[in-house]
Amino acid sequence: MRISAACIQCMVDKQSENIKDFEDVQIKSAYLKEVLRIIGNSREEDTTPVLSESVQKAYEKYFGETMDYGPIKHSFNQKMLLAEAAIRKEIEGAENPLSCALSFARTGNYIDFGALREVKDSVLDMLVSEAGKKQVDEETLKRFVKDLEKGGSLVYLTDNCGEIVLDKLLMEFLKNQYPNLQITAIVRGEAVLNDATYEDAKETGLTEVVPVIGNGTGIAGTSLRDISQEASRLIHSADVIISKGQGNFESLHGCGLNIYYLFLCKCDWFVKRFQMKKNGGIFIHESTLGSDGIYIVRQK
């Protein structure tokens, strides 16, 4: 999906905020000029996650290593693991367990330090407490079930730490409900922000549920031209793909694969484009989006 004017403005604003406490104005000016060059020299097909990786490298050149998200990732992984048993019980007792599992997995997408300046425990707790009562889009769910019933292979593209625990519960349900479905999870290949890597998959027990591989990159999305051959082969040969998060959506929309996108609208641009409230949940199929990435039929 092509990068929007809103995303360009957001990238520049974030970098200005990130360097506000540095005193050397000349270095700050040089850095922001390089950020603008990265954006200005971008290719038509470049997406926000791809450009963000280049911006990250520029930041490290001028200011050194960025924040270590390791402790934060561990904290949110453990927080969601503590809630895991109760959520699993709620899913099992739901009138529509699949819809419920999808809703919980979608809710975990709030844990995103790329889209949000602050991830608030109070907001996360509220969203999780309400997730079991929310339904995913009915028409998309019907189509999804038909695909699942055919069996074959499903690739699950994860997004963030903590969230991966709720992804695990959804994959557990799919594995039990559709035994002919071969599920593989793909995480980030390198550490980037608070995105889930193989270490997070292992910490949260996902590696004990399904095979897990890294995608070979440190891009906060799934850029098909940049990922490893193994990840590319799995994605392109998959019968069904679940794509979690805004970054994966931005980097994959328009690829024409059988993808179901599952995420929360956390930034103003996504709220506007999908006509949703802040942190509103989306479950859509690739085919229901226009060429510009705008949803054709509004979610309820």
Q: Is 223 left (phi over 0), alpha (psi -120 to 50) or beta?
A: beta
| Range with the poorest average pLDDT among 104-108, 173-177, 181-185, 276-280 | 276-280
Q: Is the pLDDT of residue 104 over 90?
A: yes
pLDDT tens digits for range 79-95: 999 999 999 999 999 99
When the pLDDT of each residue in the chain is averaged and rounded to a whole number, the result is 91
What pLDDT was estimated at residue 236?
A: 97
pLDDT of residue 2: 65
Give dist(CA 294, CA 36) in Å, integer.
26
Q: Convert the pLDDT of each residue in 118-130 to its tens digit.
A: 899 999 999 999 9
Asked whether the predicted pLDDT for residue 296 surpasses 60, the reply is no
> pTM of the prediction?
0.90
**How does residue 166 score in pLDDT terms, banded at 50, 70 and 90?**
very high
**Pick from 15-24, 98-107, 134-143, 285-294: least confident:** 285-294
Averaged pLDDT for residues 123-149: 95
pLDDT band at 298 (very low <50, low <70, confident <90, very high): very low
Q: Residue range 28-56: average pLDDT? A: 87
Distance CA 239, CA 187 (A): 19
Q: How many CB atoms lie within 10 A of CB 54?
A: 18
* pLDDT score recorded for residue 299: 46
Overall size of the chain counted in residues: 300
Give the residues across from 243 on adjacent strands: 157, 261
Q: Is 263 a residue whose pLDDT tops 80?
A: yes
Please name which of 11, 14, 24, 118 lies closest in space to residue 64, comparing C-alpha atoms. Answer: 24
% of the chain with per-residue pLDDT over 90? 67
Once rounded to an integer, what is the mean pLDDT over residues 194-205? 97
